[in-house]
Structure formats: structure tokens, C-alpha cells
Amino acid sequence: MYRGTEILNRPNGWEGIGITLDFSEVEDTVDGVKIVKAGTPIGSDKKKATADAIGVLLSDVFESRPIGTILKKGYLNKKRITEHYGSDISAAISTLPMIVLEDNGEGE
């Protein structure tokens, strides 16, 4: 059974909004189903963003249920995101002043 990754470094004090993702360019899969991984920066086009993200995906979202939550505020675990998502998201989220990437802390 697939289990997602917890990206929050501190479980309290986060804020997010619901979003339906666009899977048209998604290539990652789990058990043959397309997935957008937790920690993915999301742009205004509802796709993965490499710059000017409007939020960070809280949990893994599968094409079979494309609704997820993007974080607008929160303390996130940088190491877990980098390992799960596959790269550092610092540049993509530079426009999100209420998202803080922490190297360690309560979630470690």
C-alpha cells in the first residue's frame, strides 16, 4: 500500500486552499496512476511550477482524484520535500513569504 510523505515540519499553524490539479503534463506514476507529489510547487495554471508558485502541495494527489490542498502558509521540512519531490523548491516558492523551509525542527 502506498503511503504519502508528511512535508509539514510543524503540524500547527498552516493554511491552505483546495485546488483541482491539471494532470496533462504529469509523468510520475505510482502503481500505474499519475501522481503529483507532496511538496510540489503549484502555479496559477494548476500545474507544477518552477517559478512564481501560488502554493505548495500538502499531500500526494492522484489523477483518479485530482483534488488537493496547496499551502499558502506553513513551516515545511526541506529535507523531506527534497527527497520526496526530487529537488529543492526554494527558487519556485520565493514569491510565497509565508512558506518557511526548515532544515530541522519539530518534524525531525
pLDDT reported for residue 15: 97
Domain presence at residue 2: no
Domain presence at residue 95: yes
Per-residue pLDDT tens for 21-65?
999 999 999 999 999 999 999 999 999 999 999 999 999 999 999
- What is the count of structural domains for the chain? 1
Model's pTM, two decimal places?
0.90
**Between vectors from CA 82 to CA 89 and to CA 51, what angle results, nearest 5°?**
15
Cell of 46: 494548476
Domain presence at residue 10: no
The residue segments making up the domain with residue 36 are 15-102
Q: What is the CATH number of the domain that holds 22?
A: 2.40.300
Contacts 24+ apart (CB under 8 A), 88-91: 89/39, 89/40, 89/41, 89/53, 89/56, 91/50, 91/51
Rounded CA-CA distance 9/44 in Å is 25
Residue (of 48, 29, 37) closest to 84 by Cα position:
37
Domain presence at residue 44: yes
pLDDT reported for residue 92: 95
Domain presence at residue 47: yes
Q: Is the pLDDT of residue 105 over 60?
A: no
